[in-house]
Amino acid sequence: MTSTAARPVELTGRIVRPGDVDYPQARRSYNLLFTHEPAVIVFAQHTQDVVNALIWARHNGVEVRVRSGGHCLEGWSTVDDGIVIDVSGMKSATIDAVAGTATVGAGLNQLEAVTALGSAGFAAPTGTEGTVGLVGATLGGGFGLLTRLFGMASDNLLAAEVVVPSNDAGAQAITVDRQHNADLLWALRGAGNGNFGIVTSMTYRIHPLTQTVYVTATWSGLDDLPAVFEAWQRCAPNVDNRLTSQLEILRDAIQLIGVLASGSEAEATQL
């Protein structure tokens, strides 16, 4: 457990403030419709940087926003006049093949996590957009193209390190699993992206997987949409659980995307 008592602290990590040359880029998030000007942005490198930032925010009475991938469409990854605690630099991945688990830093995006696990012959379900932060996707559920076989990302979340306020106006990092703070683990695994603390690392159940087959089918225009949608809706609940698919409706096309886990190209085409 990392903790700091209720005393004034200095911000640590990479600190960016208005007027710094890198401030315009540091304050940007994915959705450029929302423009905010935080008083300070902390790019945390270690858990203690997050602890210090939360204590600083409490002592100074400013609003806190947490950011990893920054993809929140509503613009909640940043704030005016407050502090943004950015964990995108906390990138790590430790795989325990015997236990079937992986512990990853909160800075990994989904592509980085998939790549790290895949290089070791494992997978965990994530969402489908590589640049989205893994933590945000997991806390929101995490539906992806391995979900039918392995469940949602949140289903595979076993433990987390979370920075939370302490009663003395300080902050501390706590362990969250089935034996410690189990109610918080329950919340992180399905409470709809609620903010219960600042997640700095997560431990996942991982699954052996060395091959997937990626399949797409495209219809030009939207004339076939009613028939395609009806057929997809009827077949998807009954198809082999190794195949997960999603239907994307574009401006001038319909695209069906599917991934078959541990199967052949011929089998994927037939399914």
Taking only the tens place, the pLDDT of each residue in 47-85 is 999 999 999 999 999 999 999 988 887 878 899 999 999
One DSSP character per residue, 21-39 reads TTHHHHT--S-TT-----S
Q: Is 69 exposed, middle or buried (0-12, 13-18, 19+ CB in 10 A)?
A: buried
pLDDT of the residue at 220: 96
Greatest Cα pair distance, the chain, in angstroms, is: 65
Per-residue pLDDT reduced to its tens digit, 234-247: 988 889 999 999 99
- Which of 1-15, 92-106, 160-174 bottoms out in mean pLDDT, i.e. has the lowest? 1-15
pLDDT of the residue at 140: 87
> What's this model's pTM, rounded to 2 decimal places?
0.89
- Rounded to whole angstroms, the Cα distance separating 241 from 149 reads 5
pLDDT > 90 in the chain, percent: 79
Q: Residue 227: is its pLDDT beyond 70? A: yes
Of residues 75 and 144, the one with the higher pLDDT is 144
pLDDT of the residue at 187: 92
Q: Residue 33: is its pLDDT beyond 60? A: yes
- Burial readout 100-133 (b: 16 or more C-beta within 10 A, e: otherwise): ebbbbbbbbbbebbbebbeeeebbbbbbbeeebb
pLDDT of the residue at 7: 60
Mean pLDDT over the full length of the chain = 92
pLDDT of the residue at 34: 86
Q: Residue 193: is its pLDDT beyond 80? A: no
pLDDT, mean of residues 190-212: 87
In sequence order, what are the residues at sequence separation of 6 or more whose Cβ sits closer than 8 angstroms to the Cβ of residue 25? none
Nearest to 171 by CA among 137, 138, 200: 200
